[in-house]
Every structure is written in structure tokens, then in C-alpha cells.
Amino acid sequence: MSIVERARADICALRPYVSARQDPARGILLNANESPWQPPGLNQDLNRYPEPQPAGLLKTLARLYQCDTRQLFVGRGSDEAIDLLCRAFCAAGKDAIVTAPPTFGMYAVAAGIQGARVIEVSLKGPDFALDSEAVGAAIGADDGVKLVFLCSPNNPSGGLADSQSVERVLEAASGQALVIVDEAYAEFSDQPSWIGRLSDFDNLAVLRTLSKAYGLAGLRCGALVARSEVIDLIRRIMPPYPVPATTVQTALEVLNGPAASELASRVRQIVATREWLRDRLSKLAIVKRVYPSAANFLLVAFYDAAHVDAALRESGMIVRQFSNLLPDHLRITIGERQDMMALANVLDTLA
């Protein structure tokens, strides 16, 4: 049985919108009510609707992520893929997703918007490890579970999901739920991507984004990588033109341009700064714990996080607080070395 058979029956039966750009014929284009002219003074082809799934960008991303173009959905950030997955698989008021908090908040929000239930199986232990047994039990106990969101490296804790634990979840979910490994921060870790395991598990999907390591958060470009039948399903319900032409052009410039090699050195720089800050903060008396991180941020437990947060704000530095989810913790994004030194200096004055 393909995992797609677990998608909403009404979505499988839905006749997708056929947009004008899906007609491959080229000539004088009079089929999309577009303007025949560019806006005055603009030298970019923006009067036409873009390709629904831009072939050039798919090709470049497929090379980057080492997959087939048919295994890719590209959208406005990976957030869009999270939303589409919830809509495709979860019947409102009936089906459920499983998340492993503390984790990225958008999984629960997207499920909530769709009217799906959210089953939370907390990460366990001092390092926030994936509790594969408890996740497996949650899946087994509830046939409505359609999606399992795992985040590795995890936001906000920074840790990696142990690969055997992920495999156990994939096996427990086999034939029932799609397991999505969100690799938004994969470039900062040295773990192999789960994309390489797509041929082993038909219920595996991976999220990637250009928003973090590639420095393109403002571009809004992210991808879902999965078996082609899952991608076909998502493409049935995507908005007619999810990726703006300007986004396609800039993404191709960055990914295929000469700057691509510089990117690896920037990632190394962020990682080196992260480890420097981790070491520096670990020695402070106001710090309870600095979590190991494979991402571009550090989760830090303080004895008095509110006080630290206030002092940092006073100095013009804004970090992330998680008042309900993780009281006493702050998540610090790794920025330029000099800014991290300034941050450490502020914390010194509190020690």
C-alpha cells in the first residue's frame, strides 16, 4: 500500500486547477489575462505568470539535494509544504499529527488551521532525545495519526535525532503515517541527509529550505523532498503559482553563481562561532546549561532567563524567549563574531 492512500479521500478525488502555464504550447500568449507589457521601467519578465513548478529551479535543487526533480515540491518556504501536507493528509476534526516538543511551532499551527489534532510526545532526557518508543506507541494507539513531524537538527534545542530512533519511528508508522524529517538546519550539521534514505522508506519525507544556511529567508523558497507519489499529491493542491518569478531568478543566481562555494566557508564560520560561544557561556555562573547544537543557534538554560533577556534587550540584542514551552531558556542565533563577543560581554556583567 502506498502511503498516499492514507491521504484524504476527497483530496485524492479532487480535480486540480489547471493553470494557463501548464499548457506547454508557446506563441502569442492570450490565455491567462496577463498584460502584454512589462511595467514601465522594469527590465524583468514579470508580466507573465511563472511556471507552477519552475523546471530550472527544480533541476538546480535536485542537484543540490541529490534527488530526482519528480521527488521535489518547491514552494514559498518549507512552511508552505508543512501547510499543504496537513491539508492533504488530515481530515478536519478527525485525523492527527504527532510532534515532539519542544520543537518548531509551525507544525501544530498548520495542523490547527486544518482542524487536525496534535498529539505531543515530548523529547526526553537532559539532551531532548527523540523518544521513538513513545512516538511509536502514539502512532499505534491512534489510527487517525497521518503525519509525524521530526525536526533534526531540532529547533529550538539544536540537537540531532538519533538515526536508529528515526528508523524505529519510520517502521512504526509504516503503512499508516508519513514521517517528515525537517532538515531546515542540515547544512550546519555533519549528519547525512535523510533524503538519501527515500528509497528505503516509502513513508519518509524531508523538508529543506534556503532560509537558513543560504541566507535567503527573505526570498521565501523551500522544498519538500519525498517519493514522487507524495509530491504528485501535494502538487494537486498547491496554489496555482506558488513560486514568484523574482524568487526563481534570485535562487538560481545564488545557487548556480560563483558565490556558492563561499557558502561552505560561511557555514564553517557560523559553526566555529557557535562552538566559541558555547564554550564561553558554559563557564558563566548565571548559565545552567548550554545544549549541544548542530544548527546555527544555541539553546541556553539560565537561572534567571527573564533577567538575562531584559539585560540583552537593554543592550539592543534580541534573542528568543519561550515563556511557556521552555521557561528559563533563551535561544541565541549565531551572528557575526563581534556581535557574539558583545553578547558574551553583556552576560559577563550579570555573572
Ligand X SMILES: *Cc1c(COP(=O)(O)O)cnc(C)c1O
Query: Applying CB under 6 A, does 209 fall inside the site for ligand X?
Result: yes
Query: Applying CB under 6 A, does 157 fall inside the site for ligand X?
Result: no
| Residue 316 CB, nearest approach to ligand X (Å) | 23
| Residue 274 CB, nearest approach to ligand X (Å) | 15
Q: What is the dihedral of CA 79, 80, 85, 88, to 10 degrees?
A: 150
Q: For cell 508557446, what's the residue?
A: 26
Query: Applying CB under 6 A, does 254 fall inside the site for ligand X?
Result: no
Query: Applying CB under 6 A, does 341 fall inside the site for ligand X?
Result: no
Query: Applying CB under 6 A, does 99 fall inside the site for ligand X?
Result: no
Q: Where does this chain touch ligand X (CB under 6 A) — which range of 51-59, 71-79, 254-262, 332-340?
A: 71-79
d(CA 9, CA 196): 30
Site string for ligand X, 171-190 (x = CB under 6 A): -----------x-x------
| Residue 124 CB, nearest approach to ligand X (Å) | 19
Query: Applying CB under 6 A, does 52 fall inside the site for ligand X?
Result: no
Residue 205 bridge partners (DSSP): 180, 226
> How big, in percent rounded to 5, are the helix, strand and coil portions of the chain?
40, 15, 45
Name the grid cell of 78.
518549507
Query: Applying CB under 6 A, does 222 fall inside the site for ligand X?
Result: yes
Among 62, 74, 123, 151, binds ligand X (CB under 6 A): 151
d(CA 45, CA 28): 15
Cis-peptide into 153, omega within 30 deg: yes
Other C-beta atoms closer than 10 Å to the C-beta of 108 total 18
Name the grid cell of 248.
526563481
Smallest Cα–Cα separation from 170: which of 143, 202, 192?
A: 202
Q: Where does this chain touch ligand X (CB under 6 A) — which range of 73-81, 91-99, 280-288, 306-314?
A: 73-81
Binding residues for ligand X, rule: CB under 6 A, are 77-79, 104, 151, 155, 182, 184, 209, 211, 217, 222
